[in-house]
Amino acid sequence: MKPKAFVSKSKKNVVKELQDLAKQYPIVGIVDMENLPARQLQRMRSSLKGKVVIRMTKGRLMRVTFDSLKDTPGMEDLKEKIRGMPALIFTKENPFKLYKMLQKSKSPAPAKAGQTAPKDIIVPAGKTPFAPGPVIGELGQLGIKAGIEDGKVAIKEDKLLVKEGDTISAKQAEILTRLSIEPMEVGLNIISVLEAGTLFERKTLDIDEDEYVNNLKSLHSEAFNLAVKIGYASKDTIKTLLSKASKDASALADSQDIITDENIKRLVGKANAQATGLKNKVNV
């Protein structure tokens, strides 16, 4: 008989705490803490206190926890998202609000060689603090056009130095640091969040609020115009439809010389003009 593996009490306590937190909070997520300095983590813990609980432990203990909660919908799928330097987060905030909070808590940081560009890194045109010298050649080696303006090195035009997803080289990192360009973001990067059996990926949670609102306004306008065009009456369209119907009825009455309270003066004026024209034509 195979002997049972020994599991320390401390590890059991860690798993027990994670189990209790998963049952206490309706939202469970996995974040990647790679390249996150300890000081930055402490600041984030402080800013998120009372809203988000963060627990760091080994991936193996996280998997053991998820295995013990496999009857909870979505836990098995969430377990498959463990990677990098993971930590678990627990909260009662909805996933979209959680993502927004974590994004706001991030801060810019210098690039390091070997890191992956989180977005296109552009070196903007303009003056630099550098005096004329070898730096012009160093910039040129990276495809950055530079010259001299007012005794300082100036970059002549914007330069896309590193594309999103590409690896930053040592030379690129050095130049970016010297130019005080901090393209990296330091903070907790959400990998996936589980709510009521539904798994939300980072891309799903990353919503441009202005674009979202503009899209809603555009859809509302298109729906309103369509409803008016087909004559669909609702509390939003009824005033416009009644106004349109009134104008259409008035135009029809005028074209067919149908007398109404609204158009009688116009029709009398029209008849008078026609009579005058006829009188002049026959010289009566």
**CATH classification of the domain holding 144:** 3.90.105.20
At residue 251, the pLDDT reads: 77
Q: Is residue 13 domain-shared with residue 98, that is, in the same domain?
A: yes
The answer to whether residue 229 is domain-embedded is yes
Pair 34, 76 in one domain: yes
3-state secondary structure 169-187: CHHHHHHHHHCCCCCEEEC
Quick count: other Cβ atoms within 10 Å of Cβ 22?
Answer: 21
Domain end call among 174, 207, 240: 207
Measured in degrees and rounded to the nearest 5, phi and psi for residue 272 equal -65, -40
Q: What pLDDT is stored for residue 189 in this prediction? A: 85
Determine the 3-state secondary structure of 198 from DSSP: strand
Residue 216 included in any domain: yes
Task: Answer yes or no: do 131 and 228 share one domain.
Answer: no
For the segment 226-232, the average pLDDT, to the nearest whole number, is 86
Looking at the domain assignment, is residue 3 inside a domain? no
Percentage of the chain lying above the pLDDT 90 cut: 36
β-strand partners of 160: 122
Q: Indicate if 91 and 198 belong to the same structural domain.
A: yes
Q: Is the pLDDT of residue 102 over 90?
A: no
Please check the confidence at residue 212 and state whether its pLDDT lies above 80. no
Tell me the pTM: 0.58
Whether 154 and 274 map to the same domain: the answer is no
Question: What amino acid is encoded at 216 in this protein?
Answer: L
What pLDDT shows up at residue 252? Answer: 76
Same domain, 102 and 193: yes
Same domain, 19 and 86: yes
DSSP single-letter state for residue 89: E
**Is the residue at 2 inside a domain?**
no
User: Cα(255)–Cα(117) distance, rounded to whole angstroms?
Assistant: 69
Q: Which amino acid is at 180?
A: S
How many CB atoms are located within 10 Å of the residue 153 CB? 18
Average pLDDT over residues 175-192: 89
Phi-psi region of 246 (alpha: psi -120 to 50; beta: other; left: phi over 0): alpha
User: pLDDT (tens digit, 9 = 90+) per residue, 154-180?
Assistant: 999 999 999 988 899 999 999 999 999
Q: Return the pLDDT at 188.
A: 83
**Stronger pLDDT, 2 or 64, i.e. the higher one:** 64
CA neighbor of 128 nearest in space, from 107, 100, 104, 147:
147
Kindly state whether residues 53 and 193 are assigned to the same domain: yes
Is the pLDDT reported for residue 247 higher than 80?
Answer: yes
Least confident of 149-163, 204-218, 262-276: 262-276
Mean pLDDT of the chain: 85
Is residue 163 assigned to a domain? yes
Q: Three-class SS of residue 146? A: strand
How many domains does the chain divide into?
3
Can you tell me which residue has the tokens 């330097």?
Answer: 85
- 201 and 101 in one domain? yes
Alpha helices in the chain (DSSP H): 9-24, 38-48, 59-68, 75-79, 95-104, 135-141, 170-178, 202-205, 209-230, 238-255, 264-282
Contact predicate 70/32, CB 8 Å:
no
Give the residue-averaged pLDDT of 239-261.
Answer: 78
Domain that holds residue 166: 121-184
Mean pLDDT on 51-61: 89
Residue 191 covered by a domain: yes
Same domain (yes/no): 92, 232:
no
**Domain-located, residue 200:** yes
User: What's the confidence (pLDDT) of residue 106?
Assistant: 81
Here the CATH number for the domain that contains residue 55 is 3.30.70.1730
Nearest to 62 by CA among 41, 80, 39: 80
| Together in a domain, 67 and 159 | no
Beta-carbon contacts of 264 under 8 Å, excluding residues fewer than 6 positions away, are: none
Check residue 205 and give left, alpha or beta (phi > 0: left; psi -120 to 50: alpha).
alpha
Q: Are residues 69 and 194 in the same domain?
A: yes
**Residue 113 within a domain:** no
Mean pLDDT of 217-229: 88
Q: What is the mean pLDDT of residues 190-211?
A: 87
Of 68, 53, 56, 54, the residue nearest 7 (C-alpha)? 68
